[in-house]
Structure 1
Amino acid sequence: MSFPSKAEILAWINENPHSVGKREIARAFNLKGADRVVLKQVLRELEQEGAVQRRRRRLGNAGHLPPVTVLVAGEIDAGGDLTARPKDWDSAEAPPEIHYVPRKGDVALAPGDRFLAKLRPVEEPNALRYEARLIKKIGSGPRRMLGIYRAPGKGNREGGRLVSVDKRADREWIIPPGAEAGAQDGELVEAEATETRRMGLPRGRVVERIGDPGAPKQVSLIAIHQHDIPLDFPDAVLAEAEAAALPGAAGREDLRALPLVTIDPADARDHDDAVAALPDDDPANPGGHVVWVAIADVAALVPPGSALDAEARRRGNSTYFPDRVAPMLPERLSADLCSLMPGQDRPCMALRMVLDAEGNKRGHRFCRGVMRSHAALSYEAAQAAADGNPGPEAAPLAGHLGALWAAWRAAWAARSRRQPLDLDLPERRITLNAAGEVTGIPIRERFDAHRLIEEFMILANVAAAETLEAHRRPLLYRVHEEPDPERLEMLRETLEAVGIPLARGQVLRTRDLNRVLESAAGTESQEMVHMQVLRAQQQAYYSPDALGHFGLALPRYAHFTSPIRRYADLVVHRALIAALGLGADGQTAEEAAALRETAEAISRTERRSMEAERDTVDRYVAAYMAEREGAEFEGRISGVGRFGVFVKLAETGADGLVPISTIGQEYFRHDPEAGTLTGERSGRVLAMGMHARVRLVEAVPVTGGLLFELLEATGVAPRRKHPSPSGKARKVERGRIARARNARRKRR
């Protein structure tokens, strides 16, 4: 065999895109002895000409990567994929495009993380890209921290300090001279770690200056940066939103004559659901009702595979702060084209439900329609109309609103028979003035108008799940599992202390917990019992599996009613469109196949938003309380830890810490299962639910932290009637609940 030409050698390398060595090339062309010396020279010339690249004694055709390599995770692209780049790339040319394709069970990767990956080349016209599969995560990206920069004092050569805005952080960072990026003392900045030492403080450098942390409108920005909440939209997404146009009425049911109205908070930024009700004229359903629920048809304006869709999935949901919203969709859609504004024709996904006189659902159907809202009512205005005092917006609709209330009373009676968990804890809201300063923290009033909308939305969500199950269409369920056995045991301990029984050895139902809440009603333990029942609950999440909703006492439940602010609802809309043949913009095969990944992703973004919203409220409350340091307040002990007790104030609902070191001159023994601190010398017991009088020692607006001094604690401390269950007993209890849960799943 004659010695191959350069072109033949290069062609063979191109046909084997993984990196190869001289040995593999020699074997392919059967080269031996002196020919191998010539081959070495030819390969050197090809490398000098830029036709191949050398990577650690291996050769590959230029622009190609080896099948297994170390990558660095990049940012999320417009398609919703995590990008990556090779860790080692010596070429002057840009590296090829790499998309990370996660599989179920893969660890989460963040920008900057290093990981070993298996690459699959994907040839495209005029381009080469790779799909990467995780083999092993081998390192994390630079750790970042949001904090207040403190400039160094005179003679300090070590540098400034970064004080975290996270009240859970226990260490400061050193910002060496030259790494402060021009930050001024007291400025809010974001920094990344550059060096972590075994001894001493970590070192970092400022990567972004954010501004004055004391400015009122900076409060929500702190949470947005701290939790990586997306705020600005990419240009491609904004361009699609601006180009969007309302679909015509062709192929849609004309629902404009229905007396549909929206009922929302007075400060609502969007309107994505409307309701109406009429008496049912079917003689077979005497005293029955026809209820319409119309929801913004977001699927008509956000097609699968678009930049809008990818960005909505990445955000997962809108995040609401007292002074702003980080929306899931651009304002052009969320506040305009998709919003059911009064007097405007809007596309909708509509549900017609028939209820009998007792509120039981006799049947339902979905359609795509065009609607026109007849009024945008606040909860206060809707309640005033129900109480016989309609305002100017509600007065022309008095008869229609009466039919709506009649339908709700029937539905509410059916709900009462079902006995969902009846937790109704007071909700506080932050009120701000024009400058963004807190003017008050009142309890949000709760009306029957709230319950009306909530019940009709629940009925619509159930109908969506039932329809998709009947058509065997994959969907996202909203899942709320039974309480964790260990939390349940702690709840029993607390209830026994105040004389309220909760039976063991049976499958827990919501009606059992409702009996507990009824027993505590009107007693001094009411708020504590409600709080403990709430804490015993599991966190709800999204799943493609029908695992039921414990809190609502429903075997199947989906989210359908808020597609402007929740991606899960948009997924359900598309599934309905595909299942019922309502258009070409329904659920795709690719979307259905990725439901589990979507469920996990949007469950994470929902938790992220909840944490950001809670942290923001804490900071606003701390800012409001800062001028009242030294004042005394009444409250209740809301949490007990080995480091101290938390007290929730009656006036504002604010939570603050009483450090254990300030409680008394003795050692306190912490019992985590009973939820108590007991003084070893005095026998003094501090427990959940006890009345507390405290003095505000410090309020730190930038972290949201409040420190109290405990002046007095009174009330009944828990005394166990039974010893705490052993680890083995808890394991048996968990197994019993798991078996009961599996049995219910099989019956479904």
Structure 2
Amino acid sequence: MNARRIAPPKGANRKPKPGAKTPGDFPSREDLLTFIADNPGKAGKREIARHFGIIGAARIQLKKMLKDLGEEGLVERRQKRLIRPGDLPPVFVTNLVARDRDGELLGEPVDWDDEAGSPPKILVLSGRSNKTPQPGIGDRALVRLTEAEEHGEAQYTARVIKVLEKSQGAILGILRMRGPGKPPFLEPIDIKQRELDVDPRELNDAEDGDLVSVQVNRSGRYGTPRAAIVQRFGSMKSEKAVSEIALHSHGIPHVFPSAVEVEAEKAQPVTLGQREDWRQIPLLTIDPPDAKDHDDAVFAEPDKDPENEGGQIVYVAIADVAYYVRPGTALDREAHLRGNSVYFPDRVIPMLPERISNDLCSLREKEDRPALAVRMVFDKTGARRGHTFHRVLMRSAAKLSYLQAQKAIEGVTDEKTETLVEGVLKPLWDAYACLKKARDAREPLELDLPERKIKLKPDGTVDHVYVPERLDAHKLIEEFMIQANVSAAETLERKKTPLLYRVHDASTPEKLQNLKDFLSTLNMKLPSAGGLRPSVFNGILAKVKDTPQAQLVNEVVLRSQAQAEYTPQNIGHFGLNLRRYAHFTSPIRRYADLIVHRGLIRALGLGNDGLPEGIEDKLEAIGGEISSAERRAMLAERDTIDRLIALWMTDRVGATFQGRIGGVVKSGLFIRLDESGADGFIPASTIGIDYYRHDEGSHSLIGDKTGETYQLGDNVEVRLVEAAPFAGALRFEMLSRGRVGGKQVRASRAKPKGGSKSATGRKRITSRRGETSPKSKPRKS
């Protein structure tokens, strides 16, 4: 139907808004449809009339035209507003489904006609009111449309009015059976969650004592919510179940979105193309025996330049992840979100899907792989004379374990290493001996804090706890990687290219004072004036080496140090005693390294997949996010080990152990067992009849009446009275007497009649994570 032109009624000569028809013209159907399209969700009959200057009796004609357009299916009415089919109303409900490359939430409308095609993406901004809960992925929110212009992936922009439903998500817990006639229930891992009845028809083959995740599927108004089991992880005694708790409690992403998996599966192997061909260089990967992905490969040879007599050339090739993970892709966004891979005793939660992490990017033995490599030249003192970066295609000559390489260099070869000793392994060790001279002269901080490892049985339960030997093979790879990282930082600085430094600040005055106070109890001093260097701490550690106080002093020095982090502002790396340092050598498992790779590609013109322009303004935020993700991963890894050991120790409640006081706080003592390295807690109130006060300077608890003292580092005998696998905590009873007059009384405390074993309960035990932790892994460089 064609629109009829009619004479405007009296009074229709008021001034219309810009872009409106002038008086005397009535809008055509196309005019109306254009206005509705340009103002989705905002165009009601009143707004249309105002825009086109339609008043009086002319509104009747407008009403009829809009009715005709509706009957023809060209417009729809939503809450007194007109929209085209497929457009969005001004206010609607959206499911929050993802985040864009800038970390902003993306939503999809809840009510969407599939016949209109794929639902549009909406950029969802938080509400203006502080009272509005912050929305997250999985939530459902009422939003108001604010703009119809495209923003990256989004076709619309909306602001949250109200979060209607927070994502219930999966609740993790232990399935418990009550007995005949009674419904099973979930004992949640999170002690803030209340118990949930589980629908007996929705057990999903789970058994009593299994770790499961449930979804609440029905909740009566007055009754207990009912839940359905959606996933079974198996016995709580298995590593998989325990690590699942860590993933859940720390909020670590561990399921790749379908878009990420699709991108990964589409990736194809790299051919030589414009790359340098390094396939004839016998590069080796040297890793732990159970490593699934291989970031780095190394080779070394003497420098034949007569002007560099006694010098060495070291090659370090690093997996070219940047080729496969391009800025702004789904793979890139997920890697940014995860920040790093997370390592548990029997599995890895990778930063990148397996197609990338342990296939296309893993430097597999005898297979062609793309790499970003650095060739470094050192003089006979180990000082680096120069370096160059190359984008190459390489082929690993062999995959060796640390122990395998170490044994070969010591004369115990196997079928693989016997052909590598002379031409490959010995040159590597010669180069390390050269670089070690410069390292020793540099004097980085040399903490000696062995890291405990867990050996699992085939069923995933703990077999034993051990401390692996630190070999020269470990130190060789570590020093080669450090030099490659320094080379990357120097190159990017010289090219004035943005980068994320790996920085480690010097200790704060407060921490140094605490260290001085502690050392004074051992008749040792820390210089009071001038800036401290790592060599000062090394001098202290050397004095206590091979003494009973060695481990204690190493731990206290560690606690006096700042934590390393990522930032675009360079303050140097105190622990390594380096002016500039960046992570370059592990892009498969660290997002920071991927950024450095992209920076090198951009700075050196090595491809079109380098660091994007404009990233400078975002690097500070990215550095903060991935530093936080790193700390989150370290906590999850440590919590998993603690829980596994607590599970392992449940059958040994009542047994006595020899240990050492590994931490002292106001509320009690942390104990580390000699046999296993397991950590537990002794509440101060259970030590004896005396009242014990905390002396922070000497790291001691001192009895008010007796003067009996328990100090950090003291050897003690303890009895295990409680093990709480949920909390990953052990509670001990002190059997040894404390020091009196500076000497430790060897007599044990009287054992209470009837034993001291107590029933296990989650709330009764003091978890070490509730206190200032006395132990930590050595800081990652």
Structure 1 counterpart of 2:303, one-letter code:
D
Deviation at 1:549, TM superposition (A): 1.9
Partners of 1:162 and 1:241 lie apart in 2 by 37
1:392 corresponds to which letter in structure 2? E
Alignment partner, residue 443 of structure 1 = 467
Q: How does 1:688-699 map to 2 (within 5 A)?
A: 688-699=712-723
Equivalent residue, structure 1, for 2:542? 518
State how far apart, in whole Å, the 2-side matches of 1:486 and 1:68 are.
Answer: 54
1:666–1:680 contact (8 Å) kept in structure 2: yes
Contact 2:176–2:187, Cα closer than 8 Å, also in 1:
yes
Q: Does the CA contact (< 8 Å) of 1:114 and 1:141 recur in 2?
A: no
Change (3 A) 1:208 1:227: farther
Counterpart-to-counterpart distance in 2, 1:422 and 1:209: 46
Question: Structure 1 residues 392 and 221, CA, compared in 2 at 3 Å: closer, same or farther?
Answer: same
- Partner-residue secondary structure (3-state), 2:385: strand
- Once residues 194 and 667 of structure 1 are traced to their aligned partners in structure 2, the CA distance between those partners, rounded to angstroms, is 52
- The residue that corresponds to 1:616 in the other structure is 640
- Superposed displacement of residue 623, structure 1: 2.7
Q: Note if 1:121 corresponds to 2:156.
A: no
Question: SS of the counterpart of 1:699?
Answer: strand
**Aligned-residue offset at 1:659:** 2.9
Structure 1 Cα separation of the partners of residues 741 and 186 of structure 2: 42
Distance of 1:332 and 1:31 partners within structure 2: 63
1:584 aligns with 2:608: yes
**1:550 maps to 2:577:** no
> Which protein shows a greater Rg?
2
Aligned to 1:314: 337
**Cα displacement (A) at 1:184:** 5.7
Look up the match of 2:235: 213
Aligned to 1:727: none
**1:282 is aligned to 2:309:** no
Give 1:700's aligned residue. 724
**Residue 300 of structure 1 pairs with residue 327 of structure 2:** no
**What one-letter code is carried by the residue in structure 2 that aligns with 1:701?**
P
Residue identity opposite 2:650 in structure 1: A
Per-residue CA distance 1:635-680 (angstroms, 9 max, x = gap): 2222334443221112211111223443234544446676544444
Structure 1 counterpart of 2:406: 383
* Residue-pair matches, total: 706
Aligned to 2:195: 174
2:149 partner letter: V
1:574 aligns with 2:598: yes
Distance 1:541 1:637 in 2: 30
**Identity over aligned residues, as a percent?**
46
Instruction: Tell me how far apart the structure 1 counterparts of residues 226 and 61 of structure 2 sit (CA, whole Å).
Output: 52
Measure, in 1, the Cα distance between the counterparts of 2:349 and 2:112: 40
Task: Return closer, same or farther for 1:218/1:119 CA change in 2, 3 Å cut-off.
Answer: same
**Worse-superposed segment, 583-592 or 203-212:** 203-212
- Tell me which residue corresponds to 1:746: none
Describe the shift of the 1:238–1:60 C-alpha distance in structure 2 as closer, same or farther (beyond 3 A).
closer
1:176-208 deviation line (CA, Å, top 9, x unaligned): 575995476433233579999xxx999785563
1:297–1:348 Cα contact (<8 Å) kept: yes
Deviates more, 1:489-498 or 1:679-688: 679-688
Task: Select between 456-465 and 130-139 the one with higher mean Cα deviation.
Answer: 130-139
Structure 2 residue identity aligned to 1:349: L
Provide structure 1 residue ranges, at least 5 long, that are not aligned to the other structure. Answer: 719-748
Distance between the aligned counterparts of 2:473 and 2:731, measured in 1? 38
- Structural mapping, 1:131-280, within 5 Å: 131=157, 141-142=167-168, 145-151=171-177, 162-165=186-189, 170-171=191-192, 173-176=194-197, 181-182=202-203, 185-190=208-213, 205=227, 208-216=230-238, 217-280=240-303
Q: Please give the alpha-carbon distance, in whole angstroms, between the structure 1 residues aligned to 2:493 and 2:39.
A: 48
The amino acid across from 2:195 in the alignment is I
1:541-579 Cα shifts (integer Å, max 9, x gaps): 222332322221222211111122222222222221121
Distance of 1:573 and 1:108 partners within structure 2 = 34
- Cα displacement (A) at 1:20: 5.8
Deviates more, 1:579-588 or 1:223-232: 223-232
SS at match of 2:649: helix
For 1:221, the aligned partner's letter is E
CA distance in 2, matches of 1:493, 1:325: 41
Pairwise CA distance, 1:319 = 1.8
The 3-state SS of whatever aligns with 2:308 is coil
Change (3 A) 1:681 1:8: farther
The worse-fitting range, judged by mean Cα deviation, of 606-615 and 178-187 is: 178-187
The alignment's TM-score, normalised by the length of structure 1, stands at: 0.82
For the structure 1 residues 311 and 361, does the alpha-carbon distance in structure 2 shift closer, same or farther, using more than 3 Å as the test? Answer: same
Give the Cα–Cα distance (whole angstroms) in 2 for the partners of residues 354 and 25 of structure 1. Answer: 75
Deviates further, 311-320 or 232-241: 232-241
Which residue pairs with 2:139 in the alignment? 112
1:145–1:226 CA contact under 8 A, matched in 2: no
Residue 186 of structure 2 contacts residue 197 of structure 2 at CA under 8 Å; is this kept in 1?
A: no
Q: Is the 8 A contact 2:141 2:161 kept in 1?
A: no
Cα displacement (A) at 1:288: 1.0
Instruction: Give how far 1:136 is off.
Output: 10
1:737 aligned residue? none
Aligned equivalents of 2:185 and 2:588: distance in 1?
A: 42
- Quote how far apart the aligned CAs of 1:175 are: 1.6
Which residue in 1 is equivalent to 2:531? 507
Q: Would you say the 8 A contact 1:348–1:368 is kept in 2? A: yes
Change (3 A) 1:72 1:669: farther
Give the letter for the 2:196 counterpart: I
Aligned partner letter, 1:213: S
Instruction: Give per-residue Cα distances to partners, 1:269-288, cap 9 Å, x unaligned.
Output: 12221111111111221211
What residue is the counterpart of 2:389 in the other structure?
A: 366
Counterpart residue type for residue 155 of structure 2: R
Higher RCO (C-alpha 8 Å, min separation 6): 1
- Which residue matches 2:688? 664
Maintained 8 Å contact 2:101/2:328: no
> Cα distance, 1:39 vs. partner?
7.3
Asked whether the 8 Å contact 2:213–2:230 carries over to 1, the reply is yes
Contact 1:116/1:138, CA 8 A, preserved across alignment: no
Q: 1:137 to 1:598 in 2, by over 3 A?
A: farther
Match of 1:392 in 2: 415
- Say if 2:425 is the partner of 1:401: yes
Q: Counterparts of 1:667 and 1:611 in 2: how far apart (Å)?
A: 33
Contact 1:67-1:118 within 8 A present in 2 as well? yes
Structure 2 equivalent of residue 337 of structure 1: 360
Task: Note closer, same or farther for the CA distance 1:273–1:128 as it changes in structure 2 (3 Å cut).
Answer: closer
Q: CA deviation at 1:458?
A: 0.3
Aligned mates of 2:192, 2:305 — CA distance in 1: 70
Q: Deviations over 1:504-525 (max 9, x none)?
A: 4543332232223223323322
Does the aligned pair in 2 maintain the 1:690–1:713 contact within 8 Å? no
1:516 and 1:116 map into 2 onto residues whose CA distance is: 61
In 2, the alpha carbon distance for the partners of 1:475 and 1:307 equals 22
In structure 2, relative to structure 1, the CA distance for the partners of 1:686 and 1:9 (3 Å cut) is farther
1:98-134 per-residue CA deviation (whole Å, 9 max, x = no partner) reads 24589xxx98955438697884433599x97224678
Partner-residue secondary structure (3-state), 2:148: strand
Q: Give the counterpart letter for 2:276 in structure 1.
A: E
Aligned pair partner of 2:587 in 559, 563, 585: 563
Residue aligning to 2:51: 28
Residue 128 to residue 612, structure 1, CA distance change in 2 (3 Å)? closer
- Corresponding residue for residue 5 of structure 2: none
Matched position secondary structure for 1:589: coil
Question: What is the deviation of 1:423?
Answer: 1.2
Contact 2:202 2:229 in 1 (8 A): yes
Residue 554 of structure 2: SS of its match in structure 1? helix
**Aligned Cα root-mean-square deviation (Å):** 4.1
Counterpart secondary structure, 1:221: helix
Task: Provide the C-alpha distance between the structure 2 equivalents of 1:690 and 1:37, rounded to a whole number of angstroms.
Answer: 94
